[in-house]
Amino acid sequence: MTGSTSRRRFLTTMAAIPALSLLAACDNGPSAANAQGSTASGSANAPQSSGSVNMERLLEAGPLPEMAMGDEDAPVTIVEYASMTCSHCANFHTGTFPALKEQYIDTGKVQYILREFPFDPRAEAGFMLARCAEGKYFPMVDVLFQQQSNWATAQDARTALFNISKLAGFSQESFEACLTNQELLDDVRAVRARGAEFGVDSTPTFFINGRKYAGAMSIEEMSAIIDPLL
């Protein structure tokens, strides 16, 4: 069985898991279903693109409101597909992303869009909680990546996730209501399915002005891609 066939079967199986099961899944111990990209080498050379997609199609409205930072008229648009339980995604967001934000997003050079591509129920739960965080999507994502080791592989991830969620204002009732919201779960899965249509099969995957790059990158590598586009 090829890797792509196995991954498609896994995603099909995931789609059959109802929202109510997410709470139980968070109590079942560490998840093994965590497909990830490779860590960047640290070279300052621009990484090789693995293909391209039509930008207009990539930026078409999806099943959930777009989560974006930066000027929508920026010369460079970065779309990242990530999984909340992906260690390489966490490394990118805690290591590279602060510099990307400071140097490119906050200066109007880059519009950055984050899209959900969860590979397991815990990743789905993390993204759902970020969506339910009432205007605190990116802060919630930041905290979940920063504390990934405390919940993604914990025996009792449900309690760990709830403790993090309380910092964002969740009550026990709103926490459970979020994770049992079948419509939200279906929409998160639809974002993932749409990403697969663009060839996403590992995380993190970036589309930079339509060019596809798989795997976490350093700020030097991202700069080598971005700067010639400015």
Question: What is the Cβ-side half-sphere exposure of residue 101, based on CA atoms within 13 angstroms?
Answer: 13
pTM above 0.85, yes or no: yes
CA distance 61 to 77: 15
CA distance 196 to 174: 31
Checking DSSP bridges between strand 110-116 and strand 76-82, what pairing results, if any? Answer: parallel
User: Across the 230 residues of the chain, what is the mean pLDDT of every consecutive 10-residue run?
Assistant: 50 56 63 46 74 96 96 97 97 97 98 97 97 95 96 93 94 96 97 97 97 96 97
What's the confidence (pLDDT) of residue 39?
42
Q: What is the pLDDT of residues 205-218, one digit of tens each?
A: 999 999 999 999 99
- H helix intervals, the chain: 3-15, 20-25, 55-58, 87-91, 97-100, 121-131, 137-146, 148-151, 157-167, 172-179, 182-197, 219-226
Phi, psi of 205 (to 5 degrees): -125, 135
Residue 69 sits at the vertex; the CA angle it makes with 141 and 41, to the nearest 5 degrees, is: 70
What's the confidence (pLDDT) of residue 44?
65
Length of the chain as a residue count? 230
CA distance 213 to 92: 13
Tokens standing for residue 165: 């969620």
Q: What is the pLDDT of residues 76-104, one digit of tens each?
A: 999 999 999 999 999 999 999 999 999 99
